[in-house]
Every structure is written in C-alpha cells, then in structure tokens.
Structure 1
Amino acid sequence: MKSVLHKAATRGHADHGWLNSHHTFSFAGYHDPERMHFGVLRVLNDDQVAAGRGFGTHPHDNMEIISIPLEGDLEHKDSMGNTTTIKEGDVQVMSAGTGVQHSEYNKNSDQEVKFLQIWVFPNKRNVEPRYDQTSIREIEKKNAFYQVLSPSSEDEGVWIHQDAWFHLGKFEEDKTDSYQIKKEGNGVYAFVLEGEVEINGQKLEKRDGFGIWDTNSFDFKSNTDSRVLLMEIPMSLDNIER
C-alpha cells in the first residue's frame, strides 16, 4: 500500500473577494510540481462564492467536470442550452469534450455558496459535450458510503468518461466502514468535508486529503460526526487519449 497526505493548511489559496478558493492540486496562480494531480484526478477546488457573484462565461474542453454543492444554490448556464440550479444534495457533471462554454452564478443576495469543483481527465477525447445533474438525497445512507458517480449511466448517481467511482459518506462518532477498490490499478483520494476520521490508521481532519493506492481495500473509522468524499480513479495516465 502507498499513500500521500495533503493537510488542509498546505493547499493553495486564492482570495479574489467574491471567490475564496482552496486548491488541493496546482491550479491558476498556484503551482506546485509535486501536486499536479493524483492519478487522473486533476483538480479539487474547495470554493466559496459570495452572494450575487459568480464565474462569467468561460470555455472548457476534454475534461470531466464535477460539481458538488455543500451549502447554498448555484445557477449554471452553458452553450448546450442548459439553465439549471444545483444545491446541497445534488451532484452535477459536465463532459466538456469537443468544447463547451458555461457560467456559474450565485443568485442569492444574502447567502454565499460553498461547493467542490473537481476535474478528471477523460478516457475519451473529443466526445460530444454533455450535461447532467441528479439529486442524491434518495440514495443517501447513514453510516455507510454510497455511490454518487460511476462510469455507467445504469448505476446510481451521475456518470463520466472514466473508470471512476465517487462515494459520499455521513457518519456518526465511532462508526466504521470499509472500501473495496472496484478496478485493479485504481487508487482512492479521500477528502474530509467535516469531522475527524481515520483511514487505515491515518488520522484526517476537516479538509485534509489522503490518497491511497497499491491496495485492494482499506478500513475507515469516524472519530467524530463526519462527512467524507471518496474518489476512486485510475492511477495511470496511460488510459487517457492524447
């Protein structure tokens, strides 16, 4: 088993006034050659958007982009004709493929929006751009990890062009669980949203990140009430079309 620990305080940070963002991996003005990606997981941004502000229209291509709201509402508009609102309890995905433009805006005048912006390298280039979102409230489980993303449209949650599985878990104090790697060669990047937990004995606190690979499974314990995101992704970049 191999692992890497990224403490919350070591992340890149950018405060633009309207946007307060922490970057687990190199992004925009934050560059660390030792933290360019974890396998095909390229971006993990922990964003807070001020009331009445947002990201203007901007382009993306050949990237799987996942948004997970933690607090508040975020309006999405894109060049595919979609105008939607995502909120806590939703998961959104956009396969940028051959190219798409979109904007994200906090229309609330009295509440900030907190959300995770995640980018994953796709295993297929130049696909037709695609948008989807789903509510995960009906599949949410207590004291167990539950799937919110996979490579298949037939599974629970949203799907992307990559052999990746995302799970969320909301745990009470002293609860335990385990995770089985779904595909050989994959690793898991765990991100603690709330509380204090242990993964194979490694203690993690709020907003810590922990990557684990070269293993088939790992054990999880919640030391306090907690919420955790697990992102299983291929560790090799060889499955990415160039």
Structure 2
Amino acid sequence: MKYIRNSEDRGVANHGWLDSKHSFSFANYYDPKHMGVSVLRVINDDTVAPGEGFGAHSHRDMEIISYVTQGSLKHKDSEGNEHIVSVGEIQRMSAGTGVVHSEYNASNTEDVKFFQIWIEPNKMGIKPRYEQKNIPQKGALTPLITANGKDGSISIQQEASLSRLVLQEKEIFKLDSGKHLGYLHIIKGELTVDGEKFAAGDAFSVEPSETLKIEAISTLEAMWFELPTQH
C-alpha cells in the first residue's frame, strides 16, 4: 500500500444543497499530494438534497461514471438522453467531443447519494456515448465498468476497470490487480489488512506486484479499480 487515502482527510465542499467529499483535488479543493491515481482523476462522494442538483454544464474528453447508493438521479444531456438512475445502477457518460448534461435528485423528499467518478480516456475526440445498467452481484467481485464491456459490464475508452466488491462479515478476499495498479475505495463496512483497519470512505492502492489479503469486519461494499501503471 504505497498510497492510503483516509476518509477524514478528504476535501469537503458543502453548498447547502450539496455535501461533497473529494478524494482527489477538485474545483476549489486543491492538494498536490492528492491529484488522482493513474487515470482515475475524481472520486466525489456526493449527497444532494431533495429536488436539487447540478444544472446544465459541459464536459469533454472524460469518462464520467455515476454509482448511486441511495435514492435516484435524474439525468438529461444534449445527446437526447433522459433517464432515471436508481440504486444499484451504473451510469457511464463518455463526454468525447463535448456534451452538456444535468444531474438532479429525482426525489422531492429524500436525499440522493452517489459517487461521481472521472477516468481519463486513452483516446480523445470520440463521439459522446451514454449507457446505464443494473448489474446484479455475482460472487464477491462483479465487473461494472471494463475496457471491452466483458461479462455484461459497461465499456469505457480506457484500459481500466471498476468492479463492485461485496463481502460478508469475517469473509477473506485477496486483492491482486495483476499487471495493473489496484485501488480500493470502501463504500460501507470495515476491513482489516496487515493488521490495519479501514472503514467507509477510506481507500488504498495495491501495487502490480502486490497481493493483499483483506478480511471484512462487517458486511462490506467497496469499489475496486484496476488501472494502467503508465498514462
């Protein structure tokens, strides 16, 4: 674990309607020691108040992923896509040559909680694309986002992947990213690795030559990224 990101050290932005925790430098939060990991540029842990959201704004040349953990998001973009993204669903928007979009809490009574994730693409200027799926958990580790859309996952323009890791209390799992750089971000629950305890919001990297044995202290849900070692 060359890189450890503790939950309480993340950047914080609270705008009343939005409570956001930034794993990496973003907007008004800047820390040169936390600029991202490989091509993983943004992990924002967002809570949006009922009926509020991000108004129409533009992006280009970025793979943008939304991972909803509570409530629903209302998505609309300049490519004609208009959808509701609910708990358990994964949304990917390839901004490519440019897209204008908005993301609002679809509920007028409940908060929506979701992770906004940005991954730098390996090819610029592609045609914008949109996809969302509900991908059921299959075993401990389920691919959600991959380079080639394997096993029913959603594809992105990068040699990188995002999987959902779910473990039960006392269950043991070996983290091994092979030739890639691994990065684990805990959504809920707690785990131990090498005698060190990590909880929701914490994250750490796994080197290509490294295998880490983790044990869930409680029911665990986490995002597991496999990223290129060079970019």
Cα distance in 2 between the residues matched to 1:193 and 1:141:
18
| Cα displacement string for residues 122-160 of structure 1 (whole angstroms, at most 9, x for unaligned residues) | 0111111000010012xx135x11111100134322110
194, 197, 200: which is aligned to 1:203? 197
Counterparts of residues 1-242 of structure 1 (less than 5 Å): 2-137=1-136, 140-142=137-139, 144-182=140-178, 184=179, 186-215=180-209, 217-237=211-231
Query: CA 1:236 to 1:202, structure 2 compared with 1: closer, same or farther past 3 Å?
Result: farther
In structure 1, runs of 5+ residues without a counterpart are 238-242
Letter aligned with residue 212 of structure 1: V
Of the structure 1 ranges 98-107 and 216-225, higher mean CA displacement relative to structure 2 is found in 216-225
Query: CA 1:171 to 1:154, structure 2 compared with 1: closer, same or farther past 3 Å?
Result: closer
Contact 2:76 2:103 in 1 (8 A): yes
Cα distance in 2 between the residues matched to 1:43 and 1:179:
22
SS in 1 for 2:164: strand
In structure 2, runs of 5+ residues without a counterpart are none
Query: CA 1:187 to 1:200, structure 2 compared with 1: closer, same or farther past 3 Å?
Result: farther
Letter aligned with residue 126 of structure 2: V
Letter aligned with residue 187 of structure 1: L
Q: CA deviation at 1:104?
A: 0.4
Cα distance in 2 between the residues matched to 1:165 and 1:97:
18
Query: CA 1:201 to 1:166, structure 2 compared with 1: closer, same or farther past 3 Å?
Result: farther
Contact 1:79 1:102 in 2 (8 A): yes
Contact 1:147 1:165 in 2 (8 A): yes
Letter aligned with residue 107 of structure 1: A
Q: CA deviation at 1:218?
A: 2.9
Contact 1:4 1:210 in 2 (8 A): yes
Q: Extract structure 1 runs of 4+ deviating beyond 3 A.
A: 199-202
Cα distance in 2 between the residues matched to 1:12 and 1:196:
21
Contact 2:26 2:42 in 1 (8 A): yes
Contact 1:38 1:235 in 2 (8 A): no
TM-score normalized by the length of structure 2: 0.95
Cα distance in 2 between the residues matched to 1:99 and 1:128:
8
| Cα displacement string for residues 211-230 of structure 1 (whole angstroms, at most 9, x for unaligned residues) | 12232533221111211111
TM-score normalized by the length of structure 1: 0.91
Percent identity, please: 39
Tell me the residue number matched to 1:240.
none
SS in 1 for 2:3: strand
Aligned length: 231
